[in-house]
Chain A
Amino acid sequence: MTVLGLDLGKYAAFILPAYGLTAGFFVWIIAASLTASRRWRREAERLQAEKDAANR
């Protein structure tokens, strides 16, 4: 089997899932890390703004 010009032969059924899993892992871990960071940053900033407003 040839993929993107690469002849993977009879091993394509093992190579492609391995690369697919790796790509999927990276996409998931990057998205999860960035989403958590943004979410907690927004939450902390919102609570800080509420605190500042209450102290005024």
Chain B
Amino acid sequence: MTLPRALDFLAVPERFMAVSTWLAPVLGALAAALIGAGLWTGVSAPSDYQQGATVLIMFIHVPAAWLSMFGYICLAGASLLSLIFRHALADAAAKACAPLGAGFTALALATGSLWGRPMWGAWWVWDARLTSVLVLLLFYLGYIALRASIEDEGRAGRAAAILALVGAINLPIVHFSVNWWNTLHQGASVFRPGGPTLALVYLIPLLLIALGYMAAFGSLWLVRIRAELWRRRARVLSLQAAGR
């Protein structure tokens, strides 16, 4: 099977390198600008009448939680492409994505815990949302560990891709956990039928920072894919040198 023409740059490493050379710094600069603007408007927002100043944690916790899910969608998507099309670039993209997604997931759990303690009186509760996000982190870590444990890179990539696709089952569970079960974690207040319930004074900085996180994720993902392609090139050259 071949990729559609619009996705050519994802299949040809040389074309990807050319595009990512300028796209990674552009996304990085965009991320810095968006996060800066979001923080500026966020700290100007009044304290919440119930949560007080802890509402400031929302601006960094919620985007990290969204990115933990978005990162896994990228990981599963790249894994699917690598399994179907056997493109080395898709496999490199999946490998490069996992540590980023794991980092954002760990960050979401840590900042959520720091928000939960003053609001719920507990650092951690085994409710459906928190537990399913912990399972998401374990899928990321399992993916990284599985890849590292198999010496043959081709086999490692295929086995890890299958694990990534199995883990995708957890994504709707994370998203709908607050609807399907009674949880201490609050329900969706932005992506919900009927529109956001969050006041604009909080929604605007939240969306700015979330877009900034996404741009940062994109920039870092490109940098990490480039690193992986350079590593693979170095490995091939090293094997050729050993055979000379």
Contact = CB atoms under 8 A, between A and B. Distances in A.
A18 B238 contact: no
A40 B61 contact: no
Interface residues of B, number: 37
Interface stretch (B7-15, B49-57, B154-162): B49-57
B220 A30 contact: yes
Given A14-B57, A33-B223, A51-B241, A40 B231 contact: yes
Contacts of A15: 53-54, 56-57, 114
B140 interface: no
Query: Interface range on chain A: under 10, 10 to 19, 20 to 34, or 35 or more?
Result: 20 to 34
Q: Tell me the dominant secondary structure on chain B's binding face.
A: helix
11 contacts: A4-B43, A6-B53, A14-B115, A14-B117, A17-B114, A18-B115, A22-B64, A40-B230, A40-B233, A44-B230, A50-B237
Interface of A: 4, 6-12, 14-15, 17-19, 21-22, 25-26, 29-30, 33-34, 36-37, 39-41, 43-44, 47-48, 50-51, 54
Given A47-B234, A47-B238, A14 B54 contact: yes
Contacts of B106: 25
B47 to A, nearest CB: 8
A10 B52 CA distance: 9
B201 interface: no
B118 interface: yes
Contact of A11 (B52, B227, B237): B52
B234 A9 contact: no
A21 B223 contact: no
Q: Which of B52, B53, B64 has the most CB of A within 10 A?
A: B53
A30 B24 CA distance: 12
B103 interface: yes
A27 B180 CA distance: 37
Interface string B44-75: 00010000111011001100100000000000
B244 interface: yes
A17 B57 CA distance: 10
B240 interface: yes
Contacts of A10: 52, 118
B110 interface: yes
A29 B237 contact: no
Contact of B110 (A8, A12, A21, A26): A21
Contacts of B117: 14
A25 to B, nearest CB: 5
Nearest to B238: A47
Nearest to B112: A18
A22 B103 CA distance: 10
Given A29-B100, A48-B237, A22 B226 contact: no
